[in-house]
Chains A and B, each alone.
Chain A
Amino acid sequence: MKLSAALAPLLLAPLAAAEHTSNWAVLVGTSRFWFNYRHLANVLSLYRTVKRLGIPDSQIILMLPDDMACNPRNAFPGTVYNNADRALDLYGDNIEVDYRGYEVTVENFIRLMTDRVSEDMPRSKRLMTDERSNILVYMTGHGGNEFLKFQDAEEISAYDLADAFGQMWEKKRYHEMLFMIDTCQANTMYSKFYSPNILATGSSEIDQSSYSHHADNDVGVAVIDRYTYYNLEFLERNVRDPTSKVTMGELFDSYNPADMHSDPGIRYDLFAGGEAGARSRLIMDFFGNVQNVEIDAVSQKNETQWREELEAIDRMILEAKRKHNETLKLRPQAQHIIEEAVAMEQQQSTKKPGAVKVDAESGWSKQIVGAAALLGFASAWAAGSWLESL
């Protein structure tokens, strides 16, 4: 495992350099219950964004453990909003939930990612990616140090997640992956990843909570988390259409810990090209579904080289003409296919009390108290004996 992990970047470097040919998104909310409305709104916000940027429903796996729109407590039945202005109904009239309610479990999530599903699993519930697929994985819910709670019954650990992604890489199930997570202590969730080509970002450091952004006082609950809110804000403002050239670096630079009330983290080291490579990736490489073909005519340097080549060919052709008295047609060379996608992410908030560390100092003071108590008893006894013997 370690060897393959170490060798993988070397062996696969040529592959990594290749472009992706499809985009998938796995959007997971992991909490139930009315007071977790915001987590569902987080996921639906991301769902709406990737659909807006072009990923079709057939390539989005949406996992929603609860149905806020139909909750009897919802003052606005049939809707889910991510803002108190209630301008945008996230539920809309075109939403396709692939895993719902109690189907959202750790097992189902790992089976989905690694494609260990039964033959009769419908296509809508499968992640049918290959080594040329870019995947956006967004998770939100209640979490803690190296775990994320699924509903109220179970949790996925950072190791489970890392192994699932490792297996996906071995099975050639992704080309590049953007992992975003919005939960408390979110950055711990990607700390165990070891498979290549994963760009990971989370909402908060270890021992930090992620917080909700604001509450809607008519719905009566918080409607969105901070990390997701600011990611969305950036995407709404700067990535307006599928031709956007905004890079992941620009998105990451927009993160402001003061706004988020937590320190968002980014992990570059697994990504081919490291930080520079990851930062220069287009957002549309992950959030969009761009396979259109463009001719790269911008670069001056390429053009010179191209002209020289043309001239050389020209000369070859003239030579050939001269030799064979034939006419050949000239062709332009080198078309570059550029695909763009945008990556999104999320966060999450909850506070977990940590274990209390017993430091040497308080240990000593306790021992002193204990010794003093013992001494006290002994002296009380001695005094008793003495009084008795009088």
Chain B
Amino acid sequence: MALLATLLALRKDARILKIPPYLSAFLILVGVAWLLVLPLKEYSRGTYVSENALLPGQVHTYFTGSEHNVFRAYRHEVAGLVDLPVQQRTERLSELLRASNLKVATQKYTYTPSGRNISDENVYAILQGPRADATEAIVLMASLKTMAGEHNYSGVALVLALARYFKRWSLWSKDIIFLVSGDSTSGPQAWVDAYHDAHDPATIESLSIKSGALQGAVGVEYPAGPWGHRYDKLHIVYDGTNGQLPNLDLFNTAVNIASGQMGIGCTLQRMWHHRNSYQERLQTMLRGMLSQGLGHATGPHSAFIPYHVDAITLVTVGDGWHDEMGLGRTVESLFRSLNNLLEHLHQSFFFYLLLEAKRFVSIGTYLPSAMLIAANFSIMAIALWVQSGRPQETIPNPAAAKPAPKSVTQDAAKDPDHKEKEQEQEVEEEPLEPPPVIVTKDGATAIIPAALLQVSERPLFLPAAFVVTAHFLGLIPLAAFNHIPVANLYPSFLLAANLTALLPLATAYLLSRFTRPTPQESTLIHCFSLLFLGMYLSALATLNFSQSLMVGLLTAPLSFVRRSSGSRAAAKLQFALLAAINPVMVVYGATYVGKIELLDVLVKAAEGWHVWGMWTQVVVWLVWWPAWFSGSVVVALGLF
């Protein structure tokens, strides 16, 4: 009981409110340090295939010999058709697939994000497993254009050659779908949406033939022209839309087969030369996190992952000695492994960070870092809530024994600091005690500082209305940037940048005209805003760890800014800091540092919203921006 009473008494301790800022800062530091130790060997693990059924690399592959001539013939065919009009190209591709005795169908699609017109046609063919029951299917695909915008001659030719080759095997336990899509992201997206009847039939054609539940998808990008090109490594791309990842087993199987069985090195996240040092592992991890945090589509496979279809894309990179048949055999072996599957890939991780092709960190190890950073906001929100309920006068520290000031008057209680300065006493640093109140209850008498007995009401309406309005305000830029035509995107962005920078000042000025909010109300605005931010980010950390971490770090200063009551300089400094981490400025700065066209980012973002189902803008405009706006207004109030 005594312990409990002591702990309860601690709630009244003035020191309790001094801890949270340090605790928050500590959590952020630990969160970042946590991330930095992950690439160490002690905190990461080697990858392993946990699904027994996969048996990677246990089969001989026979895609070789005369198949090479077949492949070369297809490559010339593809080289001849890439520049044809869509209609003729589709007919020619259909003809080639039909010649392999496959059922062929086509799909037209049109998207109009930002007033652009993305329309093309997918061609696909279904190989029905000779002894299969048509309840499951796996997809092999190549888009006519790679992610980099090159013609994917050899990739498409490889799909055609493998379609012809796979047709002659009798051992398929699932149907195999060969998909040649018009472009690398919207084509597969239109196809996979239509496959699951989640498309808009007005602009996207429904599929005329389908197979069973998709179990996996593999994309091939091999932009070698009609005369071939020998490559050095396979770049395995695995990020899905919104940072969702395919099951780690699929990635591991691909690495296992390519490097173990075929002797082709594997690389990831554009780390072409990975010597497996700490720096390179860290760099790989951070690149992976950036890609995941942006949530954009990274290849034809990205569209499949939101439908819980595990998918990867194999991209050939560099100049080396591996030829197209090596890639073909890798795909063959990969499909034999997928063919062995008895149920959906589920054994291995869906949440992981890869450090190199054979090393990873699983969610249990990395999640705490983002959670700690998200928790810092919640802690500060609670601290601000408690602070807003405290009386404005200073309460003496009951635990510290010290001599009472000799002359304490009623005046001193009302304005102790002021009085203290006037009187120039030696105990200057110590707060003066307000007059005690004597309380008698059940025969016991206690002397309690009067301030402790004051009831301070929290006015909740204005702070709550303000924070909710700030969040709804985010809907305006969200809607605007997703619907403004390309020509107006850049001016709109500049407008948004200016408005966003000035809006907190204007709001603070307007509010200060009405002598609201009071210091207590501004504390509550800050409190609610951080509370929302902490909740959003911890929930987001379980869905898209990297995004949560990035937003968490960029908004971290919000925990520490305050409405300054005294010095203007402090308020100006804080406001300048917040202006620098304005979401719009961060986007602008990132494009400048990354040497990317800002317009491209805006166009892709709108495409992501309309085509890929990307949620990144929602987080930016409805989580990050309102939090930043609320914090900035609180700081700006100190200026007026």
Contact = CB atoms under 8 A, between A and B. Distances in A.
Interface string B406-448: 0000000000000000000000000000000000000000000
A120 interface: no
B55 interface: yes
24 contacts: A33-B342, A34-B53, A34-B173, A35-B52, A35-B53, A35-B340, A70-B131, A72-B131, A72-B132, A72-B173, A74-B171, A75-B170, A77-B170, A215-B58, A220-B55, A220-B59, A220-B336, A221-B55, A221-B58, A384-B15, A388-B400, A389-B397, A389-B399, A389-B402
B340 A217 contact: no
A359 interface: no
Given A388-B400, A389-B397, A389-B400, 17 more contacts: A33-B53, A34-B340, A35-B55, A72-B172, A73-B339, A74-B171, A75-B171, A77-B170, A217-B58, A217-B59, A220-B55, A220-B58, A220-B336, A220-B340, A385-B15, A385-B400, A389-B402
Nearest to A74: B171
Contacts of A389: 397, 399-402
A71 interface: yes
Interface in A207-231: 215, 217-218, 220-221
Contact of B173 (A73, A217, A385): A73
B60 A218 contact: yes
Contacts of A35: 52-53, 55, 340
Contacts of A34: 53, 173, 340, 342
B129 interface: yes
Please indicate which of the listed interface residues A73, A77, A215 has the most CB atoms of chain B within 10 Å of its own CB: A73
Interface of A: 33-35, 70-75, 77, 215, 217-218, 220-221, 384-385, 388-389
A35 B131 CA distance: 18
Interface in B172-191: 172-173
Nearest to A384: B15
Nearest to B400: A389
Contacts of A215: 58
Interface of B: 15, 19, 52-53, 55, 58-60, 129-132, 169-173, 336, 339-340, 342, 397, 399-402
A220 B55 CA distance: 8
A36 B22 CA distance: 57
Contacts, number: 56
A207 to B, nearest CB: 20
A151 to B, nearest CB: 13
A277 to B, nearest CB: 42
A221 B171 CA distance: 13
B59 A218 contact: yes
Contacts of B19: 384
Contacts of B340: 34-35, 73, 220
B171 A72 contact: yes
A74 B131 CA distance: 10
A71 B131 CA distance: 8
Contacts of A70: 131
B25 to A, nearest CB: 15
A254 to B, nearest CB: 29
Nearest to A33: B342
A81 B19 CA distance: 71
A388 B401 CA distance: 11
A209 to B, nearest CB: 13
Given A35-B53, A72-B129, A388 B15 contact: yes
A35 B19 CA distance: 58
B399 A385 contact: yes
A72 B402 CA distance: 87
A73 B171 contact: yes
A243 B270 CA distance: 70
Nearest to A217: B60
A77 B169 CA distance: 12
Contact of A77 (B131, B336, B342): B131
A33 B131 CA distance: 16
A389 B399 CA distance: 9
Nearest to B51: A35
A310 B131 CA distance: 74
A388 B397 contact: yes
Contacts of B53: 33-35
B187 to A, nearest CB: 30
A-B pairs, top 6 by smallest CB distance, nearest first, are A72-B131, A220-B59, A389-B400, A72-B173, A217-B60, A75-B171
Contacts of A385: 15, 399-400
Nearest to B131: A72
A76 to B, nearest CB: 9
A114 B171 CA distance: 41
Nearest to B22: A384
Given A220-B336, A389-B400, A71 B173 contact: yes
Contacts of A77: 131, 170
A385 B400 CA distance: 8
A35 B53 CA distance: 5
A75 B58 CA distance: 13
A388 B171 CA distance: 77
Contacts of A221: 55, 58
Contacts of B397: 388-389
A33 B52 CA distance: 10
Contacts of A384: 15, 19
Contacts of B339: 73
A33 B19 CA distance: 59
A389 B60 CA distance: 78
Contacts of A220: 55, 58-59, 336, 340
A74 B339 CA distance: 11
Nearest to B174: A72
A7 B173 CA distance: 57
Contacts of B59: 217-218, 220
A70 B336 CA distance: 17
Contacts of B401: 389
A116 B55 CA distance: 41
Nearest to A32: B342
B453 to A, nearest CB: 23
A142 to B, nearest CB: 10
A35 B54 CA distance: 8
Contacts of B131: 70, 72, 77
Nearest to B337: A220
Contacts of B342: 33-34
A292 B131 CA distance: 48
B57 to A, nearest CB: 9
A73 B173 CA distance: 6
A218 B243 CA distance: 38
B65 to A, nearest CB: 16
A333 B522 CA distance: 117
B216 to A, nearest CB: 15
Of A71, A72, A75, A217, most B-chain CB atoms within 10 Å: A72
A138 to B, nearest CB: 23
A221 B337 CA distance: 11
Nearest to B170: A77
Contacts of B173: 34, 71-73
Nearest to A36: B52
A389 B431 CA distance: 12
Contacts of B169: 75
B227 to A, nearest CB: 33
Nearest to A142: B52
A204 B52 CA distance: 21
A35 B343 CA distance: 13
Contacts of B132: 72
Contacts of B60: 217-218
Contacts of B130: 72
A384 B15 CA distance: 8
Contacts of A74: 171
Nearest to A218: B60
Contacts of A33: 53, 342
A371 B170 CA distance: 66
A219 B286 CA distance: 41
Contacts of A72: 129-132, 171-173
A114 B629 CA distance: 78
